[in-house]
Amino acid sequence: MKYLRGPIPCSDENEDLSPPFPDLRLLFGEKEFSECALQYRDRRIGFLVTIGNPSGGARIRIHDRLKNQGFVSIQALPPGAIVGRKMLFGEGLQLHAEAVHGCRP
């Protein structure tokens, strides 16, 4: 996977949000997202869904939508994370630095 120069638009369902950075465009709704996604379809763009949602349903739905549009699911594995030997890694995995995951005494 190659790194892009500059930001690409981000998609969100909450239209009350404003971009966290001045050069970042936010997309709202399926139509805006789908139109923009066509520009990046053949570029193997990686993505990571980073929203908080207690049920996980929104994360899974957004993850599946991005995969179906041709984007590549990536994992976030910081070097300081402690991971158990039997832990299974899946698409969209996000671990936090210096946290202990899947370890039992």
pTM for the model stands at: 0.66
Region for residue 72 given its phi and psi (left: phi exceeds 0; alpha: psi -120 to 50; beta: otherwise): beta
- C-alpha span between 69 and 51 (Å, rounded): 19
Q: How large is the C-alpha radius of gyration of the chain?
A: 16
Cβ 22 vs Cβ 6: under 8 Å: no
CA–CA gap between residue 9 and residue 95 (Å, rounded)? 24
At 6, which amino acid appears?
G
The pLDDT score that the predictor gives to residue 2 is: 57
Q: What is the DSSP letter of 52?
A: -
Render each residue's pLDDT in the chain as its tens digit; 105 residues.
555 566 677 777 778 888 877 888 888 888 888 888 887 777 778 887 877 667 678 888 888 888 888 888 887 777 777 777 887 777 777 777 777 766 665
Q: Which residue has the tokens 């239209």?
A: 15
Please give the angle made by the CA atoms of 63, 71 and 68, to the nearest 5 degrees.
Answer: 60
pLDDT given at position 44: 77
Amino acid 40 reads Y
Q: Which two tokens stand for residue 26?
A: 């936010």
Q: Where are the domains of the chain?
A: 10-73, 75-105
Q: What pLDDT does residue 7 have?
A: 67
